[in-house]
Amino acid sequence: MRIAFLAAPEGVEQVELTDPWQAAEDAGHEPVLVSTKPGKIQAFHHLDKADTFAVDDVVGQVSAESFGALVLPGGVANPDFLRMDDKAVAFVKDFFDRGLPVAAICHAPWTLVEADVVRGRVLTSWPSLRTDIVNAGGTWVDEQVRVCDHGPNKLVTSRKPDDLKAFCETFVEVFGRADG
């Protein structure tokens, strides 16, 4: 299965991109880096610049139809940039409209809030997003990983980098069932 990994040109938390990417590859999936601009993205280790990664596809030039699932890595700046980009928000919403599975970690649910897809769903995130999720009609829980079955698609969420092992194991399992 082709899995879109959506990241802004700057601000993605590197480990929240690389660990899920590796988990997807190890499970036999094809991860594809999608961004709002061509070229490379700049990852971060919290507030410090880390590695750069080559962009494979650009939002507005691809749709959810080209993929079987979506992963939204966090970092504070990454989802903040994405939620301000109409094409990125539409790209995310398209996965929900098509009933495709989505996984989001840490601050990434900010983009889900902007896409207006959390209403009626139970999810987790970095604790500072709790009020935003509740105000958008979602239910926030403080759990290592949460799978929400509301609607036709599955939504896998986790709180922080310490949850990456559980996040990766869970989304790989959920995406694998969707691919079957």
What are the Cα distances from residue 135, in Å, to 61, 88, 153? 32, 21, 22
Sheet with 48-54, edge to edge strand ranges: 10-13, 40-45, 48-54
What are the Cα distances from residue 20, in Å, to 7, 61, 74, 97, 105? 13, 24, 11, 23, 10
pTM attached to this predicted model: 0.97
Residue 180, pLDDT above cutoff 90: no
Share of the chain above pLDDT 90, in %: 94
Q: If you compute the radius of gyration of the chain from its CA atoms, what whole number of angstroms results? A: 14
CA 82 to chain centre: 11
Q: Which domains does the chain have, with CATH numbers?
A: 2-179 (3.40.50.880)
The stretch 150-158 carries a mean pLDDT of 89
Residues with catalytic roles: 107
The stretch 136-140 carries a mean pLDDT of 98
Task: Please count the other Cβ atoms lying within 10 Å of the Cβ belonging to residue 18.
Answer: 18
Residue 49, pLDDT above cutoff 90: yes
**pLDDT, tens only, 81-117:** 999 999 999 999 999 999 999 999 999 999 999 999 9
